[in-house]
Amino acid sequence: MNLNKYLDVNPEVAEAVRAGRPVVALESTIISHGMPYPQNVETALNVERIIRENGAVPATIAIIGGRLKAGLTPEEIEYFGKKGTAIHKASRRDLAVLCAKGEDGATTVTTTMMIAHMAGIRIFATGGIGGVHRGAETTMDISADLEELASTPVMVVCAGAKSILDLGLTLEYLETKGVPVLGYGTEELPAFYTRQSGFRVDYRVDSPAELAKIFKTQNDMALGGGILVTNPIPEEFSMPKAVIDAAIDQAIAECNEKGIHGKETTPFLLARVAELTGGDSLASNIRLVYNNAKLAALTAAEYCKL
């Protein structure tokens, strides 16, 4: 464990890491910027419960008053959910500034991976990752999440990526950076709200034990980077492709018209897609996060046996 002087690991999490018991990291941008209040808080608390029910300790990660936190209290989760987008969305470039200024920050996939790694946590569950945006050939909007996956040894369990991104280019980028993309029980990359995307993953993996073994092997070789596990949304909660595609196309058109760019793009698109689908996409989003939390907890438990 990197005993970073800016890091506070909650005692339950620290004890589990020390004893070699399973721990699963969770991000806070999904709470503050990814879902509306109060569903965000309810979801975050349920995710922690699901992780416990499946044998692991949850560690929701955030920055509070300039401290990097691995493991939040329910009150702190409520605070992030209520404050929502008024909290800084913290990517790699924001960490030092927010800590120096003593401010709060909601951690993205990037910074959650970084802080999880500092705290000795190997497995992280979320909904979707950032990636190469549609139109990136002119905007150069490529999420820092892809660079972090390339360099930080944390396994990220997600439901694929939303088609607000260019999924083909996102896969190309991950290939260039040497990040394995695994499909859980599928050969096809899931597209978050739907199980199909038309793109293939590198490998299909069918059990938490196999996921753990691959990650352990990568760590033993000291290859250095992460692994992306893409876990399809359960069939009963998936959305009709035409409905979600139309909402995403409209949200992207509005984003371009309004000239929204930079770190605002992803939160704008997430919120607009939820509005345009009348909350249906939010219900799907919540269900796929629960599904990922369970798989991450089971995989963390298998990893600890190796």
30 binds, among ligand PSU, Mn ion, none (CB under 5 to 8 A by kind): ligand PSU
* 104 in contact with ligand PSU (CB under 6 A): no
Please name the residues in contact with 11: beta carbons below 8 A apart, sequence gap of 6 or more.
Answer: none
The residue type of 167 is L
Active site members: 27, 162
Q: Is 242 helix (H, G, I), strand (E, B) or coil?
A: helix
The yes or no reply on residue 280 touching Mn ion (CB under 5 A) is no
The phi-psi region of residue 289 (left if phi > 0; otherwise alpha if psi is between -120 and 50; otherwise beta) is alpha
293 scored as a contact of ligand PSU (CB under 6 A):
no
- Residue 300 interacts with which of ligand PSU, Mn ion, none, CB < 5 to 8 Å by class: none
- Among 219, 237, 82, 220, smallest CA distance to 159 is for 237
User: Which residue is nearest to Mn ion, using beta carbons?
Assistant: 141
Which range of residues in 80-88, 137-145, 198-206, 221-229 is near Mn ion by CB under 5 A?
A: 137-145
Question: CA 192, CA 226: separation in Å to the nearest integer?
Answer: 20
What is the Cα 213 distance to its own chain's centre?
21
Q: Which of 143, 284, 291, 292 binds ligand PSU (CB under 6 A)?
A: 143
> Measuring CA to CA, how many Å separate 149 from each of 66, 226, 281?
24, 5, 26
Confirm or reject binding of residue 166 to Mn ion (CB under 5 A).
Answer: no
Closest approach of ligand PSU to the CB of residue 66, in Å: 20
Q: How far apart are CA 27 and CA 12, in angstroms?
A: 18
Taking CB under 5 A as the rule, does residue 148 contact Mn ion?
Answer: no
Q: Which residues are near ligand PSU by CB under 6 A?
A: 27, 29-30, 34, 108-109, 127-130, 143-145, 162, 263, 266, 270
Q: Which residues are near Mn ion by CB under 5 A?
A: 141
